[in-house]
Amino acid sequence: MPLDASIEPLTIIDALKRSPARIASKYFYDNHGSELFELITRLPEYYPTRTELEILNQFGEDIALAIGQGLTLIELGAGNCEKSQTLCRLIQPSHFVAIDVAEEFVREGANRLRSAFPGLITHTVAADLAVPITLPTGVPYSKRVVFYPGSSIGNFDPADSLALLERSHALAGKDGALLIGVDLVKDPAILEAAYNDADGVTARFNQNILRHANCLIGSDFKPKHWRHVAFFNNSLSRIEMHLEAKTTTVVHWPGGERHFASGERIHTENSYKYTPKILEDRLRQAGFGQIDVWMDARRWFAIVLART
Ligand code: AVI
Q: Is 150 in the pocket of ligand 1 (CB under 6 A)?
A: yes
What pLDDT score does 2 carry?
A: 35
* Ligand 1: residue whose CA is nearest its atom 6: 271
Q: Contact at 8 Å (CB) between 133 and 99? A: yes
Q: Is 253 in the pocket of ligand 1 (CB under 6 A)?
A: no
Q: Contact at 8 Å (CB) between 73 and 97? A: yes
For residues 281-290, average pLDDT: 98
Give the least confident one: 82-86, 133-137, 191-195, 266-270. Answer: 82-86
- pLDDT at residue 1 tops 80: no
- pLDDT at residue 8 tops 80: no
Among the atoms of ligand 1, which is closest to the Cα of residue 37?
13
Q: Is 168 in the pocket of ligand 1 (CB under 6 A)?
A: no
Read off the DSSP letter of residue 148.
E
Strand order from edge to edge, sheet including 144-148? 121-126, 95-100, 72-76, 144-148, 177-183, 301-307, 291-295
* Ligand 1: residue whose CA is nearest its atom 7: 271
Q: Is 154 in the pocket of ligand 1 (CB under 6 A)?
A: yes
Distance 271 CA to ligand 1 centre (A): 7
What pLDDT score does 9 carry?
A: 53
Among the atoms of ligand 1, which is closest to the Cα of residue 239?
7
What pLDDT score does 10 carry?
A: 54
For residues 129-143, average pLDDT: 88
Q: Is 269 in the pocket of ligand 1 (CB under 6 A)?
A: yes
**Which of 152, 229, 233, 240 maximizes ligand 1 atoms within 8 Å of its Cβ, making it the mutation to test the pocket?**
152
Q: Is 271 in the pocket of ligand 1 (CB under 6 A)?
A: yes
pLDDT, tens only, 204-227: 999 999 999 999 999 999 999 999
- pLDDT at residue 201 tops 90: yes
CA–CA distances in Å: residue 52 to residues 19, 101, 151, 288: 36, 22, 9, 22
What pLDDT score does 121 carry?
A: 94
**pTM, rounded to two decimals:** 0.92
Distance 138 CA to ligand 1 centre (A): 32
SS3 10: helix
ipTM: 0.99
Q: Is 151 in the pocket of ligand 1 (CB under 6 A)?
A: yes
pLDDT, tens only, 87-120: 999 999 999 999 987 777 788 889 999 999 999 9
